[in-house]
Each structure stands twice: as C-alpha cells, then as structure tokens.
C-alpha cells in the first residue's frame, strides 16, 4: 500500500491491476465501438483490430485510469493510504458485454484510509471528473487538427477522447450511489452544481447532439 506521507507510491500489485484494467478496457471499448463481437472478429481477419485497440487504449483506457489516479493523487495529498484495485469480475463483464453491443465498465476503484474532513473527502471525489474534463480539453485540439489536416486516425483519437472523457465526467457527477457526484454534493452544493452542469451539458452536446467520436 502507498504510505500516507504525502508521497505518491505504487506497489507491484497496484501496477499490475492498473495495467490489467487498462488492457481490458482497451479491448472492451474496441469491441464495443466496432459494433460487437462479430464485427470485431471481422476486423481481426481484416487486420484493423490492432488499430481499434490502440485507439481505445489511448482514449477510453486513459480516461478511466487517469480518473482513478486523480482520486489517488488527491487522497495521498491529504495523507491518505490510497491504492487502486481492479475488479476482475467487472472487467470480464465489460469485455463480455461489449461482444453483444452493450458496454458496462467498472474497472475498479481507489481505496483509501485515514481521517478526512468533509471538504477533503469531497475534493478527492471531485478529482476524478475534473481529470476527465482536463483530458477533454487536451483531446479537443487533436480532433480539430485531425479534421483540418485530413488525418482520419488523429480525428478519431481526438474525437473519441473528447467524447469519452466528457461522458465519464458527466456520468460520474450523477449524485447517486457510489458515484462521485453524491460525495461532491454532500460537501458543497455550489461546486456540485457548477461541475455537474458543465460536464453533463458538454457531454450531451458533444455525444448526443453532434455525435462526435462515434
């Protein structure tokens, strides 16, 4: 486990779990975006599956894992013992569900221990969605450059990275169950309101109105 001394450390078990979760999510999202298992098998025979997986690793995989690392970094900053643990059953479910055209992804979570104020607890929860919003800002110019330069692969990476990270931010800000939004709302209604409106509003606009990345 990481020591609660303010230093960011990773155990061998945590590194393993991060890599397994990243790989499984990359595969699951590649299958899902290709339209399910049958079409992905066709992509395998056609030689495009590797590209699909790499795009998913760079967009969905990075978005999910940096979201979790955002929680970890913030928790360690507040002196917590914090470590990511993959949920292997849920990762398996993500891959299986993707083959039938429905994706349910819950790769794991950062578990932390130690005394926290309500504000610190809220900021740890907020860190994940904020990381996704920052990533969306990074992916947006890549999407623009790809369109302007006529680079289809860059357009795909930029657009998909933008859409997925906005969706992750918006979804996780829903104030329900174990999602981050519930913890943020309990800490600060104004902070919740601003983050929720921005993330959900942009996600709806990009994903459902313009269909970017899909």
Out of 14, 68, 83, 118, which one is annotated catalytic?
68
Q: Report which of 199, 154, 128 is spatially closest to residue 59, judged by C-alpha positions.
A: 154
Residue 189 is classified by DSSP as H
Does the annotation mark 83 as catalytic?
Answer: no
Residue 87 is classified by DSSP as -
CB neighbours of residue 85 within 10 Å:
16
Q: How far is CA 52 from CA 17, 29, 206, in A?
A: 22, 9, 21
Beta-bridge partners for 19 = none
Query: How crowded is the C-beta side of 37, counted as CA atoms within 13 Å?
Result: 8
Catalytic residues: 68
């Amino acid at each position: 486990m990481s020591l609660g001394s303010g230093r960011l450390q990773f155990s061998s078990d945590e590194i393993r779990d991060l890599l397994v979760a990243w790989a499984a999510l990359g595969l699951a999202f590649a299958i899902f975006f290709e339209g399910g298992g049958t079409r992905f098998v066709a992509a395998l025979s056609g030689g495009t599956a590797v590209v699909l997986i790499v795009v998913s690793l760079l967009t969905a995989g990075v978005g999910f894992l940096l979201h979790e690392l955002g929680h970890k970094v913030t928790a360690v900053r507040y002196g917590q013992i914090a470590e990511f643990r993959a949920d292997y059953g849920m990762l398996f479910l993500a891959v299986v569900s993707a083959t039938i055209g429905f994706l349910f992804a819950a790769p794991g979570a950062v578990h932390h221990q130690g005394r926290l104020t309500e504000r610190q607890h809220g900021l740890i929860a907020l860190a994940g969605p904020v990381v996704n919003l920052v990533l969306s800002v990074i992916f947006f110019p890549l999407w623009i450059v790809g369109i302007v330069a006529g680079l289809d692969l860059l357009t795909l990476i930029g657009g998909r990275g933008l859409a997925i990270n906005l969706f992750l931010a918006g979804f996780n800000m829903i104030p329900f169950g174990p999602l981050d939004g519930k913890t943020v709302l309990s800490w600060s209604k104004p902070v919740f309101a601003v983050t929720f409106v921005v993330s959900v509003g942009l996600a709806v606009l990009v994903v459902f109105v313009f269909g970017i990345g899909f």
